[in-house]
Structure 1
């Protein structure tokens, strides 16, 4: 083969390779947009959904509370002294004014006797001076002086009686005394704890409710209580007071109710469950709690024409894993109940499982 023939073969080979490269480039160029189009159009997101349903139920709420005595006090002496008498038995019922603890009041009683004698003397002097003034034997100034002396001695008597009375601790109201920690002969310092006194004929129960119930609470409203100490029994109580200030930390209302405990079935300090009924509500729109998108402004993903639509809502009460929708949805609307974390507004969805909530 001569040199010219070899050059022709090489030239033809180069032309063929260039042609094959061009064909490959053209094929890849046409396939790339198609692949990009496929990647840009992903399939719908598979979700679970539920429809908005209407419920009829009793409008009520529950809370936990603590029982407190109708009146409660820890008795402490205002002065120091030695105990000479105890007028009660542990856990006994005492009446208002009953003597509970007596301290050695020998000095105080003597001061009272002295003050009484001084009053009698001053009173006799004043009466005698009145007679002498009528007979013109003394001046009016002398009568006034004896009258002032009488008042001073009467005030001294009141002071002595008050000091002597502080040596005797009496019950400020009718109630049940606790367990004493002192005995006859004990020396008790000022302010030391002697005994607690509880009025348990009526008990108070303190509890808290969410602020959304503020407008429906009112004084005199009836409620029901249960206690683990009395299983199967229900106790009626009446709302006695509502704290006018909302707790800024927990956004809750402090409520106090009064319970008639004449039978003595409950005791202060017990834990109770409180149920407060406001009436019956009909046609309350509710969705599963898991349908609400967590965080921020309450919202749900609503399924409209096969696409996810983020819908802001206003929530109400919660019950049985459902939440009330007061604004934003209507009866029969379909919302995503599972899989919403994978969704974006406008994303196509395919409902894998739809549930219809029933009252």
Structure 2
């Protein structure tokens, strides 16, 4: 039992000596990794693209969608029943105002008109004879008045018969293009039946809605641009013609009507239209490319500004946007250089290397 404590002491001493040797070996081995600060100082630069804050002309504008309408549009309908005797137009072709488009069978009305004209001629002859006799005192004043009255009745009968006859002929009320007819020669139509539509598309109207908050900035004659998905990339100049005095109580929006020239007929009524209304022209606005913006929590946005070869995070306030440019209201000054590509690998104070094309530079590396 006396020799057991001696063994424990010997084992402990051996362990202490072993640990000391290991520590001495580790302290003498060369370090393979630099300290964190040194590693950070030797890090590579981030390759980025930049753009300068520049002054551009930018307009305050409002965007909306609307529908194109004909300048004038009508569906021809007969006022009386009858059988179609002639169709005097070709579908889809232009016609002039007053051109006869459709004729109904007017044999009865034509005969009535001829009869009343004959009666008018007789009444005029009798009236002249009565006047001559009255001047020679062969007839009384009452006979003269009766003859004049019969003459007026005959004239009214002619006008009535002529009106009935003209109702059998349908004419174009304005210059336009006739559409697709719904009837054929020989069809019997009732009063009010649709025959054909007539559209004036030399000038088009576009109706759209804007929020009531913009009403103080709207006025008749304002310029706007109209585009259509059927003609991508093209814009047509228009102007405001009228502002509806009634604001929609449900949508809190006002209806605006504008007009635009359409001499070539490329736009058609019923098309979907995209409207850009220019509220105010501003000749000097600080702007940056949209791709420079980096979203932050909430509605905040920031950019990285390059100062002395390093990235500096700057919170900004933006305004209007137009053609991939964003107005900078606060945070940057004209001439400041902001990062437009490579923001994801940046942090505050990071070293940057500016290239004209970051993708090409990365490929070369």
TM-score scaled by structure 2? 0.63
> What residue in structure 2 maps to residue 299 of structure 1?
none
Classify the secondary structure of the residue corresponding to 1:144.
helix
Task: Give the aligned partner of residue 45 of structure 1.
Answer: none
For the residues of structure 2 that align with 1:266 and 1:78, how far apart are their CA atoms? 32
Q: Deviations over 1:147-180 (max 9, x none)?
A: 1111111111111111111111111001000011
Q: Deviation of residue 231 (structure 1)? A: 2.0
Gaps of 5+ in 1: 1-54, 293-316, 325-329, 333-352, 355-359
Following superposition, the deviation at residue 263 of structure 1 comes to 1.4
Instruction: Output the CA distance in 2 between the equivalents of 1:177 and 1:283.
Output: 52
CA 134–203 in structure 1, closer or farther in 2 if over 3 Å, else same:
same
Q: State the alpha-carbon separation in 2 of the partners of residues 289 and 250 from structure 1.
A: 32
| 1:198 paired residue number | 199
> How many corresponding residue pairs?
256
Change in CA separation of 1:318 and 1:291 when aligned onto 2, cut-off 3 Å: farther
Local SS of the residue matching 1:128: helix
CA distance in 2, matches of 1:251, 1:318: 23
Q: Secondary structure at the match of 1:63?
A: strand
Partner of 1:313: none
Q: Mind listing any 5+ residue stretches in structure 2 that lack a counterpart?
A: 1-54, 288-294, 300-318, 332-346, 349-365
CA contact (8 A) 2:60 2:320 kept: no
Shift of 1:319: 6.3
Whether 1:224 aligns to 2:240 is no
Superposed displacement of residue 229, structure 1: 1.7
Instruction: Please state how far the C-alpha of 1:290 moved relative to its aligned partner.
Output: 7.4
Change (3 A) 1:237 1:75: same
The CA RMSD over aligned residues, in Å, is 3.4
Shift of 1:190: 1.2
Q: Which residue of 1 aligns with 2:108?
A: 107
Residue 244 of structure 1 aligns to a residue whose secondary structure is: strand
1:245 is the counterpart of 2:246: yes
Shift of 1:253: 1.1
| 248 and 145 in structure 1: CA distance in 2 versus 1, 3 angstrom threshold | same
Work out the CA distance in 1 between the residues paired with 2:76 and 2:85.
17
User: Match of 2:153?
Assistant: 152
Q: How does 1:125-164 map to 2 (within 5 A)?
A: 125-164=126-165
